[in-house]
Amino acid sequence: MIGEIFVGGMFGLVLGSFAGALSYRLVNDQDWIAKRSSCPQCGMQLGIADLIPLFGFMLRRGKCAHCAQPISWRYPIIEIVNAFGCILAVATFGTSINAAFVIGLATILVAMAAADFEAQILPDELQIALAILGAGFAYQNGTFLSGLTAGVLGAGLGLLLRTFYRRVRKIDALGLGDIKFFGAAGLWIGLDHLSWFLGLSALIGVALALVMGKGMKDRIPFGVALAIALFVLVVGRPIASF
């Protein structure tokens, strides 16, 4: 099992590197398929040594090999977080189809959280990927109907909450990206855990607002709270009874 967890962690670093690049390119309207990785400071294409997840950053001492400008810490942080998520997936589900689904989930959520934290955007491309993987996960576990119902109900509740706050408080309590997230998340958690997801994400959102010193009228990265809550519930389902 230790060997499997180690492999999961290394694989998570690689996927984390992809998640970091993906989140940056999507929010900046850059080609995320064919474009080769380059230094955002000098524009030089990165070599193999530069692209080694985490260890490339350490090897270059956090600086570009071409222009010697500092490399953002976002990249190793994203890689480490994703590796941790993949380790939890393997530790919980072993080497199974479910583990593969949850490794994909971790990578998508890390990219979404990074995009929302940095640019207040939850890209539609990632929302679609989250929903497709969620549908596969639900079908694999025989919960597709429950997940679909939870997705529709969750998105509907989010839309009602957004409408209420816009009319009564004159603020956008939820963005449309958050509402789409509710719909995709429902496929992963099913109807039985929808209330847990809504409650946990709200608590994490409040905690983020307190830590960041945000008020009711300030934009908080609620996508980060949604991502954490969803992953906790998906990984926690096999080892806890709610």
> What pLDDT is attached to residue 241?
47
- Give me the phi and psi of 122, to 5 degrees please: -115, 95
Report the pLDDT value the prediction gives residue 170, as an integer from 0 to 100: 66
Q: Give the span between the Cα atoms of 109 and 127, in whole angstroms.
A: 9
**Judging by beta carbons within 10 Å of its beta carbon (0-12, 13-18, 19+), is residue 197 exposed, middle or buried?**
buried
d(CA 226, CA 198): 8
Q: 77-102, pLDDT tens digit by residue?
A: 999 999 999 999 999 998 899 999 99
In this predicted structure, what is the pLDDT of residue 209?
A: 85
Residue 163: per-residue pLDDT: 83
Residue numbers of the chain with a pLDDT score lower than 50: 241-242
Q: Which pLDDT score is estimated for 81?
A: 95
Who contacts 106 (Cβ-Cβ below 8 Å, separation ≥6)? 12, 15, 82, 85, 86, 88, 89, 231
* Structure confidence at residue 149 (pLDDT): 95
pLDDT one-digit tens code per residue, 107-121 = 999 999 999 999 889
For 135, the token pair is 């549908």
